[in-house]
Amino acid sequence: MSEAALIGLGSNLADPQRQLSIAVLGLARLGVVVGRSSLYQSTPLGGPPGQPDYLNAVVALLPTCSEPEQLLAGLLALEREQGRVRCQPSAARTIDLDLLCWGSRVVVSETLLLPHPRMMQRAFVLAPLCELCPAWRHPVSGVSACASLAGLTEQGWVKTDLPWLT
């Protein structure tokens, strides 16, 4: 999966298990889904109080486009299709699709930073990433996702037994 794009998925509204499954169907329109983690439950990190827990996952995708900005545009379009409304940072959402990385590419532009700038501090990203790609290392720092996850003891997450609906 060295040239795969890794996409972080999250939802805590409108039947999150269904939302993540619908998102995978949408991702298949942007390329070939070559792997997906289990579903993980996590407590909200930041944002307004009182939000429901999230379901999270990571999907590996071989995109049909060649540019990361094109893939990002496709992800944002899928979010809109699933009713994502961006009203305030870290608010509850039907779906969140984050382009975490694409192979070893490093991108710094006005619209995109790759690898995702906060992925190594988020257990809800690292736990499913470690399941899907246990040997993954950050292309700039060289730090493994699993080593970073081991240092994040205060963020609540658990691997669920929930199945993908697709």
Residue 1 pLDDT level (bands cut at 50, 70, 90): low
Cα–Cα distance measured from residue 45 to residue 122, given in angstroms and rounded to the nearest whole number: 9
How far is Cα 157 from Cα 43, in angstroms, rounded to an integer? 7
Per the residue annotation, which of 84, 86, 118, 137 is the catalytic one? 84
Identify whether 93 is a catalytic site residue. Answer: yes
Note whether residue 126 is domain-resident. yes
Q: State yes or no: is 84 an active-site residue.
A: yes
First to last CA, the chain: 21
Let me know if residue 96 belongs to a domain.
yes
* Residue 11 backbone dihedrals phi, psi, to 5 degrees: -155, 140
The predicted model gives 2-30 an average pLDDT of 96
* 125 contacts 54 by C-beta, under 8 angstroms: no
Average pLDDT estimate for 17-21: 98
The enclosing H or E element of 54 equals strand 54-63
**% of the chain residues with pLDDT over 70:** 98
Catalytic residue among 18, 29, 36, 93: 93
Domain residue limits at 64: 5-159
User: Using CA atoms, how far apart are residues 133 and 6, in angstroms rounded to an integer?
Assistant: 10
Report pLDDT for 32: 98
Give domain status of residue 83, yes or no: yes
Which CATH number is 110's domain given?
3.30.70.560
**165 belongs to a structural domain:** no
Which residue in the list 15, 36, 53, 98 is annotated as catalytic?
Answer: 98
Residue 166 located in a structural domain: no
Name the burial class of residue 76, with classes exposed (0-12), middle (13-18) and buried (19+) by CB atoms within 10 angstroms of its CB.
middle
What does the pLDDT read at residue 2? Answer: 63
**DSSP 8-state code for residue 119:** G
25 within domain boundaries = yes
Mean pLDDT of the chain: 94
Say if 81 falls within a structural domain.
Answer: yes
Given the residues 18, 36, 53, 96, the one annotated as active site: 96
**pTM reported for the whole predicted model:** 0.96
Give the count of domains, the chain: 1
Residue 120 and residue 29: Cα distance in Å, rounded?
28
